[in-house]
Each structure stands twice: as C-alpha cells, then as structure tokens.
C-alpha cells in the first residue's frame, strides 16, 4: 500500500478544488448484503452514476469508513482503502461527474497493439481484472456501442455480469443489416438493444420486444459518429461506451467524438492480427496525438486512461 493510502485521511483524484466545498450531500449506507458490499468504492461510483451533483458530494458510509466523492473529481476516505479500490475510484470517477455527456472507448490489446488474431480470436487477451474493469465501464454508462464485426466475431452479450450494476442499452452499428437474427444481442431480451442500420439496408425479420431498429444516413465514410451520439442523446443516453472493435473505436477517435480512451494493455505478444487503432495516416510524429494520460495497474496489466478532451 502506498504511503498516501495508509494515511488516516486520504485525498486523491484531480488537483484540489479551491471554490467553496458543498456542505450538503447524499448519504447512503452501503448494504452489507450486496454482492460487492466489501467494495465501498464501487458502491459509491454506482451512486455517483445517478447522482444530481448540484446537491453536493456523494457520501457513502459503512461501519468504519466514510467515503466522499466531490463534484470536482476528488475523493477522500476516513479510513485507508485498498489499492484496488483507490484505482477503481481514480480511473472511474472522471466518468460519472457532472458533465452533460461523456463518451469513453475501450480496447484490450497486447503489448504489440493487437486486439485479436488474424482469425478474429480475442478471448481473452485480458485477464480477469481488466474484464472486471470493462464490466464496470458498462455498468456506469447508459449505452454500449459495438460494430457489426464484433458481434459477428464474438457474439457478445454486452451485459454486466462481473460486478453488480445494471446493463446499459446495447447498440450495434450494422449499416448493411448483415447480422444474423440469431446472434445473442438481437435474440436475448436480457437488455434493450438498438440496431442502427443504413438508410438502404433491408431486413426481413421484424424488430420487436427488446430490439429496436433505426436507420441513420450513410455518408461517404459510413455513419457519422456524431450523428450516432446525437441519436443516443435523444434517447436519453448521456454516457456512452464505445466497446469495439478496432474499426468502430478508430472511427469515433478520428471524428474527434471521444472524451476518453481506456487502453488495457496485457503482457502478451500476438505478432499478427487486428491492430487496436487504425487512424488517418500522418507524415510526421509531431502530428501524432499526445493525450494527457494516467496509468493504473490491473492485475499484471496496465490501464492507460487517455484524456482526449482539448486542454482547458
């Protein structure tokens, strides 16, 4: 445990806030019976997810601990927290703040920047700690977006299973309407699903039950990421996770539509296969993006949290 974490009163997060500290807050007792009851950090984040920050900070308390999440992104605890809990707060608190919208992407990749083999096999590049992190990301957002390639390759459920929390709206970008009606997200009603198809696509099977189908215009480069986000905002989705794959995340990044990117780097070398990001080519390194970044350890992997917002 680091020195700062063993202090009786721990201040972490973004630089100190110099404005008035709100006095009122929402106090919630952590339920001792909840699946993640030992994890007060995760409990606090799930409260923060739906919190009205104009009411003040989030305060979660249990027997010997009182954890406060401030509106400016700092947190403090009255007793030491474990490293895993501190990492969870540091990495995820920026996602649940008062900003009116938040778009975060993730990619789990090897040391040599691959997210799948040549055959599309990607289960699993990352270990359990990173997979838990991914499920936490899902639980904190209103919608999780994947490309048709990921659904065709992995047939994912896109639900929250490794942690407590609710599953977001599942969104698949399927411009040609090529997905098999039997794939899990189109078939299973365990979470609402939106299939975004192009204006020319034709699909015989009707959309019903948990499945909604909508058309978006296809421009020269495909569906505009910002048009996708606007539609999701109209549906009430304020926080959005772009989960993959490479093509989908790269399109959102190239369009300047991401606020953050979580790169989960696992210590393996795949040596061939699908690269994580494929962006518009640049000629010189001074044209490369150099986002502000923070690093965290998740098991034997490293999470790079890239802040893609323009500096203020």
Ligand X SMILES: NC(=O)c1ccc[n+]([C@@H]2O[C@H](COP(=O)([O-])OP(=O)(O)OC[C@H]3O[C@@H](n4cnc5c(N)ncnc54)[C@H](OP(=O)(O)O)[C@@H]3O)[C@@H](O)[C@H]2O)c1
Q: Which residues bind ligand X (CB under 6 A)?
A: 107-108, 115-116, 120, 122, 125, 146-150, 153-154, 173, 175-176, 178, 222-223, 225, 243-248, 251, 274
Question: Reduced to 3 states, what is the DSSP secondary structure of residue 260?
Answer: strand
For the chain, list the strands marked E by DSSP: 10-12, 26-29, 58-62, 65-69, 75-77, 102-110, 114-116, 143-147, 169-173, 193-198, 211-216, 239-244, 260-266, 274-275, 292-298, 301-307
Q: Report in angstroms how near the CB of residue 271 gets to ligand X at its nearest.
A: 15
The Cα–Cα gap between 252 and 229 comes to 10
Lookup: tokens for 216: 């978006």
Q: What are phi and psi of 269, to 5 degrees?
A: -115, 120
245, 282 Cβ separation under 8 angstroms:
no
User: Taking the complex as a whole, how short is the minimal distance between the CB of residue 192 and ligand X, in angstroms?
Assistant: 20
User: Is the CB of 51 or the CB of 274 nearer to ligand X?
Assistant: 274
Helix, strand, or coil here: 92? helix
Shortest Å distance, C-beta 275 to ligand X? 9
For the bound state, the minimum distance from the C-beta of residue 115 to ligand X, rounded and expressed in Å, comes to 4
The pairing of beta strand 75-77 with beta strand 143-147: unpaired
Is the CB of 69 or the CB of 270 nearer to ligand X?
270
CB of 224 to ligand X, least distance (A): 7
CB-nearer residue toward ligand X: 114 or 239: 114
Specify whether the CB–CB gap between 97 and 71 falls below 8 A.
Answer: yes
Question: How many Å from the N-terminal Cα to the C-terminal Cα in the chain?
Answer: 33
Q: Which is nearer to ligand X, 143 or 148 (CB)?
A: 148
| CB of 44 or CB of 158, closer to ligand X | 158
Name the residue nearer to ligand X (CB basis): 40 or 261: 261
Smallest separation, CB 219 to ligand X (Å): 8
């Amino acid at each position: 445990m680091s020195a700062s974490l063993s202090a009786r009163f721990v201040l972490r997060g973004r630089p100190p806030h110099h404005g008035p500290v709100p006095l009122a807050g929402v106090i919630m007792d952590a339920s001792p019976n909840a699946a993640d009851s030992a994890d007060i950090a995760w409990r606090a984040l799930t409260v923060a997810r739906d919190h009205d920050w104009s009411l003040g900070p989030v305060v979660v308390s249990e027997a010997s601990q009182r954890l406060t999440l401030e509106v400016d992104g700092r947190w403090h605890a009255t007793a030491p927290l474990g490293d895993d809990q501190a990492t969870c707060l540091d990495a995820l608190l920026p996602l649940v703040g008062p900003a009116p919208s938040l778009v975060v992407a993730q990619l789990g990749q090897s040391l040599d920047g691959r997210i799948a083999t040549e055959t599309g096999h990607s289960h699993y590049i990352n270990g359990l700690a990173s997979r838990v992190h991914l499920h936490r990301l899902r639980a904190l957002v209103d919608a999780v977006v994947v490309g048709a390639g990921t659904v065709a390759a992995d047939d994912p459920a896109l639900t929250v299973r490794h942690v407590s929390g609710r599953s977001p709206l599942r969104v698949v970008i399927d411009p040609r309407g090529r997905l098999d009606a039997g794939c899990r997200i189109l078939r299973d009603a365990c979470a609402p699903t939106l299939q975004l198809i192009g204006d020319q696509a034709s699909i015989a099977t009707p959309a019903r039950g948990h499945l909604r189908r909508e058309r978006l215009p296809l421009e020269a480069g495909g569906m505009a990421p910002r048009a996708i986000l606007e539609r999701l905002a109209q549906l009430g989705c304020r926080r959005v996770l772009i989960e993959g794959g490479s093509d989908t995340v790269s399109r959102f990044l190239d369009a300047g539509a991401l606020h953050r990117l979580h790169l989960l780097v696992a210590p393996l070398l795949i040596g061939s296969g699908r690269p994580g990001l494929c962006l518009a080519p640049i000629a010189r390194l001074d044209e490369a993006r150099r986002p502000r970044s923070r690093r965290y350890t998740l098991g034997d992997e490293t999470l790079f949290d890239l802040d893609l917002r323009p500096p203020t």
